[in-house]
Structure 1
Amino acid sequence: MSDHLKRGNVLWESSRMFLPEHREQLLARRKEKERVEKPILDEQQQEEVNRVISEALVEGCQVTITYYDEGHIYALTGDIHSWDMYAQVLHVRDEDGEMHAIPFDHVVNVEMS
């Protein structure tokens, strides 16, 4: 290999290193690009969500809740522990026994598992 090519690689060798700050910025930028708008449910979809939640509470069935949070859509599988209608919050116990509070207006879909 010629001396010119070796020297050229040495000049750019430092640009291959990423500082932790750079990595964090790249990850934040990638996450920002993946953001989606909050889906808006029509009346029929909202009624279906309410029906499935009520049915799951009565029967004690596991459900998969799809919900929106800060620009992303997540899915959570577990049992609906309670539904606080005044605060509009669903309390869900996941498969690991951990409790999650999901604001009702963030719920996109609920399906029986």
Structure 2
Amino acid sequence: MNRGNKLWEGHRMILPEHRARMLQHEVESYVVPVLHEDASEDIEYRVQEAMIRRQLLTIVVGEQDGEHTVEGRIVSYRTETRSLQIHNEWGRFQIPIQNIVRVL
């Protein structure tokens, strides 16, 4: 008799404090912080240097669900979309400039 996981599916429970945290996380949405002019210039300088020297760069990107870290080489800058194209072992990604929080 193979019931799959039905026995355990019916007995799942969530602690009240975990439920409150889950609901709070759903309500809160991440807002990308507005960077100071000096921070923006520093990010721009570090991105240009990494692009010229073809170095690995770690970028912290702010999105709706929080901050994410992307590491890779900058392949190009696209002026029409104002985004960086980054290449790493998982493929190529486009990162909008306005979503960059900091460069590590």
TM over 0.5: yes
* Runs of 4+ that moved beyond 2 A: 28-37
Per-residue CA deviation, residues 23-73 of structure 1 (Å, 9 max, x unaligned), is xxx6x7465267432111010000001101110110000000001111410
Distance in 1 (CA, whole Å) between partners of 2:25 and 2:95 is: 21
Per-residue CA deviation, residues 87-112 of structure 1 (Å, 9 max, x unaligned), is 20111112x1411111110011123x
State the partner residue of 1:102: 95
Candidates 33, 37, 41, aligned match of 1:47: 41
State the partner residue of 1:73: 67
The runs of 5 or more residues in structure 1 that have no matched partner are 1-15
Structure with the greater alpha carbon radius of gyration: 1
State the partner residue of 2:5: none
Q: CA RMSD in A?
A: 2.8
Candidates 61, 84, 90, aligned match of 1:90: 84
Q: How many pairs align?
A: 91
Q: SS of the residue aligned with 1:49?
A: helix
Distance in 1 (CA, whole Å) between partners of 2:68 and 2:24 is: 17
Specify which structure has the higher proportion of helix. Answer: 1
Counterparts in 2 of 1:73 and 1:34: CA distance versus 1, 3 Å: farther
Paired letter, 2:98: D
Q: Which residues in structure 2 correspond to 1:50-61 (within 5 Å)?
A: 50-61=44-55
